[in-house]
Amino acid sequence: MPISIEQKEARLGWKLVAPSLGVIGLLIIYPILYNLYLSFFDIKLTGEKFFIGLANYEKLLEDTAFYGSVLTTIIFLIGTVVGSTVVGLFVALLMNLQFPFRNVARTIILLPYFAPVISVVFGWQFIFDPVNGIYNHIIVEVLHLTDQRHNLIGDPNTALLVVILFDIWKHFPISYLLIISKLQSINRDQYEAAAIDGCGPVVRFFHVTLPEIYFVLGTLVILRLIWNLNKFEEIFLLAPNVKTLPIFTYYAAFTGIIDQGFAATVSVVQFLVLSFLIYFYVKKVLRW
């Protein structure tokens, strides 16, 4: 049967997109389902699998380390998302003003984002090193805030703070970029009208700026939550004792007592949380 031009187009469409779909199906869709499947098994080092039903899940629910990890993750998420958004907003407002060499400044602030994690993470470790690091030097010798040098990274309690700070440093530029592109599209007239109406800079911020960037901020928060839930390198390389969910999963899967079935279970839980966030993002923010 002869095919119309439209049909030819449709066929070509499918042909061109098939390789990508194939790769995605094989390496993302299938693993997700396979992961779910694996979570019902006890996987030995030899590769043998024994079906144990929901035993992994029971184990998970009883595992205090797991709950600890969840708590750590939540603190991490809140700290980093709020932190990087606030810093990003501040920097965006700053960079929206005119001053000499502004373009240079704008390029410099993007550096933390583009630098590979591996390249900067040891620098950060050095800064907080109890022996050589400048942090301790300043806190103890210069400012005299405490009289003892602290190993912030070694101590699991403070390591989380360092990790949060590192993540904010690394990722505020992307918040900055998204916010400033919206900021620059706000018409000057709105500010001028507000100024004429007697509003000072703070009031102008709340009544003109904030409503305009509200949508961008919302998008940003959800996106950062989703991204940070998946973060691994930044945390693991800087302070592996901070056990957010991905790190927890990694330890379960590849170190110590290797239990890949259990790790799969944790991944399933993470996937559910992530799906919820994505669904929320797509429905509420993107309005699909």
Partner 1 sequence: MGKRSFLQNILLALAVGIVLFFCLFPFVQILSTSLKHQFDWGNPSLIPIKINLNAYRELLGLGKKDDVAIPDSIKRLLDNPLLTEEKKNEIISKYKSTSDVFPFPRYFLNTFLLSASAASISLILAVFGAYSFSRLRFKGRSTIQRSILFVYMVGGVMLMVPLYQMSVKAGLAKTVWGSLLSLLLIYIIQTLPVSLYMLGNYFRTIPYSLEEAAATDGCSRIQAIFIIILPLSIPMLITVFIYCFIIAWNEFLFASVFLKQFHDFHTLPLALQSLFVSKNAIWDRIMSASMLTLIPVIFCFMFVMRNLTGGLAEGGVKE
Partner 2 sequence: MASVELRNINKSFGSEQVLHDINLEVKEEEFVVLVGPSGCGKSTTLRLIAGLEDVTKGEVIINNEVVNLIEPQHRNIAMVFQNYALYPHKNVRENIIFGLKRAKAPKDLINRRLERVSKMLELQDLLERKPAQLSGGQRQRVAMGRAIARDADLFLFDEPLSNLDAKLRHQMRTEIRRIHREYKTTSIYVTHDQVEAMTLGDRVVVMRDGHIEQQGSPMEIYLKPNNIFIATFIGAPSMNILDATIFPEFVDLEGQKLILKNMFSEDSISLPKEGKKIKLGLRPDFFLDENFVSKDASLTTIRNAHIDIIEPLGFDKEFHVQVGSQTLKARLDLRTTAKEGEKINLCFDMERAHFFDVETEKSL
* Positions 40 through 59 that interact with partner 1 (CB under 8 A): 43, 47
The reply to whether 64 sits near partner 1 by the rule CB under 8 A is no
Minimum distance between the CB of residue 14 and partner 2, rounded to whole angstroms? 17
The reply to whether 74 sits near partner 1 by the rule CB under 8 A is no
2 binds, among partner 1, partner 2, none (CB under 5 to 8 A by kind): partner 2
Please say whether the beta carbons of 41 and 49 come within 8 A.
yes
- If the CB atoms of residues 4 and 148 are measured against partner 2, the closer one turns out to be 4
The reply to whether 145 sits near partner 1 by the rule CB under 8 A is no
The reply to whether 230 sits near partner 1 by the rule CB under 8 A is yes
- Per-residue x/- track, 6-25, partner 1 (CB under 8 A): x--xxxxxxxxx-xxx-xx-
260 binds, among partner 2, partner 1, none (CB under 5 to 8 A by kind): partner 1
The reply to whether 169 sits near partner 1 by the rule CB under 8 A is yes
What is the gyration radius of the CA atoms in the chain, in angstroms? 24
Please say whether the beta carbons of 50 and 41 come within 8 A.
yes
Q: What is the DSSP string of 184-247?
A: TTS-HHHHHHHHHTT--HHHHIIIIIHHHHHHHHHHHHHHHHHHHHT--HHHHHH-TT---HHH
Minimum distance between the CB of residue 223 and partner 1, rounded to whole angstroms? 8
* Pairwise CA distance, residues 11 & 166, whole Å: 49
* Positions 65 through 84 that interact with partner 2 (CB under 8 A): none
- If the CB atoms of residues 16 and 97 are measured against partner 2, the closer one turns out to be 16
- If the CB atoms of residues 3 and 61 are measured against partner 2, the closer one turns out to be 3
Structure tokens at 218: 């919302």
Minimum distance between the CB of residue 213 and partner 1, rounded to whole angstroms? 19
Please say whether the beta carbons of 95 and 184 come within 8 A.
no
Please say whether the beta carbons of 126 and 133 come within 8 A.
yes
* Pairwise CA distance, residues 139 & 159, whole Å: 16
Stretch that binds partner 2, among 2-10, 127-135, 140-148, 233-241 (CB under 8 A): 2-10
Q: Which of 66, 76, 236, 251 binds partner 1 (CB under 8 A)?
A: 236
The reply to whether 140 sits near partner 1 by the rule CB under 8 A is no
- If the CB atoms of residues 169 and 212 are measured against partner 1, the closer one turns out to be 169
Among 152, 119, 110, 158, which residue's Cα sits nearest to residue 134? 152
Q: What is the DSSP string of 94-117?
A: HHTS--TTHHHHHHHTTHHHHS-H
Minimum distance between the CB of residue 78 and partner 1, rounded to whole angstroms? 19
Please say whether the beta carbons of 259 and 43 come within 8 A.
yes
200, burial (CB in 10 Å: exposed 0-12, middle 13-18, buried 19+): exposed
Q: Report how many residues bind partner 1 under the rule CB under 8 A.
A: 83
* Positions 8 through 67 that interact with partner 2 (CB under 8 A): 8
The reply to whether 4 sits near partner 2 by the rule CB under 8 A is yes
Strands 41-43 and 49-51: antiparallel
Q: Which residues bind partner 2 (CB under 8 A)?
A: 2-6, 8
